[in-house]
Amino acid sequence: MAWTAEFDPRALKELEKLDKSVQKRVVEFIQQRILGTPGPRELGKALQGGKVKLWRYRVGDYRLICRIHDEASRVRVLRVAHRREVYR
């Protein structure tokens, strides 16, 4: 079963504020690297502390914070932001 991705409204708004070249890199990363693998946990890192069950993906200086729904084979992107701002 193929994985799908969906954006939280907040993440979509953050993505739209980024430079066009960064937007393209983020979307390509999601399509090719996250959805193109048998499992989305192969590339990312699990967050710890109060943010358990969330995964982090690195795209240059930007980070994607995602929740992985195994039962629906879906990756929900919750945040897209620069690394200095994303964890706040």
Range of the domain at 30: 4-36+44-82
CATH number at residue 26: 3.30.2310.20
Tell me if 87 is assigned to some domain. no
How far is the C-alpha of 30 from the C-alpha of 7, rounded, in Å? Answer: 11
Q: What is the pLDDT of residue 45?
A: 95
Helix (H) or strand (E) holding 25: helix 20-28
Q: What is the pLDDT of residue 52?
A: 84
Backbone torsion region of residue 41, taken as left when φ is above 0, otherwise alpha when ψ lies between -120 and 50, otherwise beta:
alpha
How far is the C-alpha of 69 from the C-alpha of 50, rounded, in Å? Answer: 18
Residue 78 has pLDDT above 90, yes or no: yes
Q: What is the pLDDT of residue 60?
A: 96
Q: What is the pLDDT of residue 37?
A: 87
User: How many domains is the chain built from?
Assistant: 1
1-22 residue pLDDT tens: 689 999 999 999 999 999 999 9
27-71 residue pLDDT tens: 999 999 999 888 899 999 999 988 888 999 999 999 999 999 999
